[in-house]
A and B are shown apart, each in its own frame.
Chain A
Amino acid sequence: MRKLLLESLLKAPLTEAPPSPDDGALAELAQSLERASRRRLGRSLSIREVDAGSCNGCELEIHALNNAFYDLERFGLKFVASPRHADVLLVTGPVTRNMREALERTYAATPDPKWVVAVGDCALDGGLFSGSYGVVGGVSAVVPVDLHIRGCPPTPNALLKGLIALVDE
């Protein structure tokens, strides 16, 4: 184990240069993210991920944000275990009817000020699954959404661009 740790110390870091924030995301966020709340929170946000009906593809790529290449925490963004500790809800999937109440309650348990980021094409409008008896639709059909990150699933870079826009001025 010591050898592995030592090697990791001596090798150059794998972490890559951050992408620039997504222009579209910045425009979408301008309305919902006031300077005052930004000042209050500083450049640090806690994220609670909620799978509201996804196929798990988005979760895999959100997971990847924590690996050494993307290292999400260097931007002051970290995943937390409870909505009560969160500033941001990262919601994936078409919202299923069986998950609707759980999403509403998670949103209600998140203290203000809070933002909702909808991740993936399904989270936008239900995607491929819209129209099914089991699906409500996109995330905005259930809770207010501040930012959409498109993709099926969005790549970790696309996720980073959107999330950096949240903390960047």
Chain B
Amino acid sequence: MTFLTALASKGSRVAAQRPWPRVEVDAPTWREAVVGLAAGEATLLGLWSDGQAVHLALCAAETAQVLVISIPCPARRFPSVAIAHPPALRLERVIRDLYGLEPEDSPDRRPWLDHGRWGLRQPLGVPEPASAAGDAYPFHAAVGAPLHQIPVGPVHAGIIEPGHFRFSCNGEAVVRLEERLGYVHKGIDGLMRGASLDRAAKLAGRTSGDSTVAYATAFASAVEAALGLDIPPRAMFLRALMAELERLANHFGDIGAVCNDASFSLIHAHCAILREHVLRVADIAFGHRLMMDCVAPGGTAVDLAPAGAQALPTLMRTIRRRIPELVELYDSTASLQNRTITTGTLTQQLARQYGAGGFVGRGSGRAFDARKLPGYPPYGDLRFEMVVRQNGDVDARVWVRIGEIAQSLALIEQILERLPPGPICADHPPAPGQASEGLALIEGFRGDVLAWVRVAGEGTIAHCHLRDPSWFQWPLLEAAIEGNIVADFPLCNKSFNCSYAGHDL
């Protein structure tokens, strides 16, 4: 019996959740799960609350079997997960910030998203009025005679999202980096409560703007799972087409930006041109450059425009023609390689422990891609390879992206060849009458996005939690930068390209 099957047998199954089981467990079983997580028996997929219970999503490493265990919290407390498994730390700090549920024996009692600016505490639990003057935030100390601190942000020098980085340095070398995030917390979990499906889908699509297709698909898939809704084959293929276009656009942006942060602007300029080509074709094909609101529960909101079907093969040819010379340039420029190779190395052990997704995990040998396992249509019918590198440095993360561009091109070509005719959206069923729950794991360009929804009987969203892949990547950036020089931080940061908005919610 596998670890997850054994866990599942010790709880009582909650009938309402699909497609993966959710079981309610007692505190000893919860602790057993935490010990198993720490021992590497399973990977942490998510940890969230709905105010009444805390839910822990687990994934078996080999089979990608998924299980959610829930612990009811009538006493407003739950046993800490992070006490044995550090990847859960920020997630459980958030549960306390938003819902006021106390993680017992948690190793870090500092608030995370709550900066003391909201004018209330526990906004989604039992709100208590509070000062909005802002809390002091004690950073971890790094002690030693020659050390100095460099505070950076929240407003950064580039056109990027806000966050604070506190560097403790010994001369040029970074001894410790500590992140402080939460600046763009908009309260999406709260806004989702009671929202109509349409409004909730719009919110999900604006959780992290660069991954709007991935988020909209994750949200829609979770809703469809909850309602038992089958979507038309054409919609599955269109979603995959949009997802691969989104991956292409972002990977071009990232490769260019990494090179730019190594002061090699030529590749940046050419990648920006390719990215623009992709966005223009997305606009022609689906009516929006970033494809916002194009995926909707039940299928897609728009069909592929005839002009888009014509423009896509041309785009594929353009990209295929330009890629080899850019890759050769990247590979043969010693000054650039000098910056990226052996810089910002993330160990395989940490990538595995944190369940890091996307190019961060796959650049450090973690062969996980939600399109393969657990898998979702139409990817089971399409041929593509998972791109994995072992070195874990900035260079490895660049090469994973380069490899994935080739895979996305191949996928788009297969999708265009096999795009089935027919409707693009299933009819919405009548309100289900009773609450139902759905869970989905969708591979965005950055990694796997987890979506959990509880649809109320009248068809509105009772609760929705969206977990960005960055939750398990941001903490690893702190580890990867250690011992590197301060000037290489932008390079390392860009190679991770974690989301601030998706993380801050």
Q: Which residues of A contact B (CB under 8 A)?
A: 1, 3-5, 14, 49-64, 66-69, 79, 81-83, 93-94, 96-102, 106, 128-129, 131-135, 152-153, 155
Are A56 and B210 also in contact (CB < 8 A) when A68-B272, A97-B117, A102-B162 are?
yes
The distance in angstroms between the C-alpha atoms of A140 and B207, with both chains bound, is 23
User: With contacts defined as CB atoms under 8 Å apart, how many contacts are there between chain A and chain B in the complex?
Assistant: 142
Are A58 and B209 also in contact (CB < 8 A) when A106-B155, A133-B118, A134-B118 are?
yes
The number of chain B residues with a CB under 8 A from chain A is: 55
The distance in angstroms between the C-alpha atoms of A53 and B190, with both chains bound, is 16
Q: Please indicate the chain A residues that have their CB under 8 angstroms from the CB of B290 in the complex.
A: 57, 60, 153
In chain B, what residue has the closest Cβ to A1? B329
Q: Please indicate the chain A residues that have their CB under 8 angstroms from the CB of B207 in the complex.
A: 55
Residue B49 CB within 8 A of the other chain: no
Q: Please indicate the chain A residues that have their CB under 8 angstroms from the CB of B219 in the complex.
A: none
Q: Which residues of B contact A (CB under 8 A)?
A: 113, 115, 117-120, 123, 127, 132, 134, 154-155, 157-162, 182-188, 190-191, 199, 202-203, 206-210, 212, 253, 266, 269-270, 272-273, 275-276, 279, 289-290, 292, 325, 329, 333, 499-501, 504
In chain B, what residue has the closest Cβ to A56? B209
Q: Please indicate the chain B residues that have their CB under 8 angstroms from the CB of A67 in the complex.
A: 269, 272-273, 275-276
Q: Please indicate the chain A residues that have their CB under 8 angstroms from the CB of B270 in the complex.
A: 4
In chain A, what residue has the closest Cβ to B205? A55
Nearest-CB distance from A118 to chain B (Å)?
A: 16
Nearest-CB distance from B237 to chain A (Å)?
A: 25
Are A51 and B161 also in contact (CB < 8 A) when A1-B266, A96-B185, A132-B186 are?
yes
In chain B, what residue has the closest Cβ to A69? B276
Give the contacting residue for A96; candidates B132, B184, B202, B269; CB below 8 A: B184
Give the contacting residue for A99; candidates B183, B208, B329; CB below 8 A: B183
Contact across chains for B184 and A60 when beta carbons are under 8 A apart:
no
Nearest-CB distance from B348 to chain A (Å)?
A: 29
Give the contacting residue for B154; candidates A3, A57, A102; CB below 8 A: A102
The distance in angstroms between the C-alpha atoms of A154 and B191, with both chains bound, is 23
Q: Please indicate the chain B residues that have their CB under 8 angstroms from the CB of A55 in the complex.
A: 206-209, 501
Q: Please indicate the chain A residues that have their CB under 8 angstroms from the CB of B184 in the complex.
A: 51, 53-54, 93, 96, 98-99
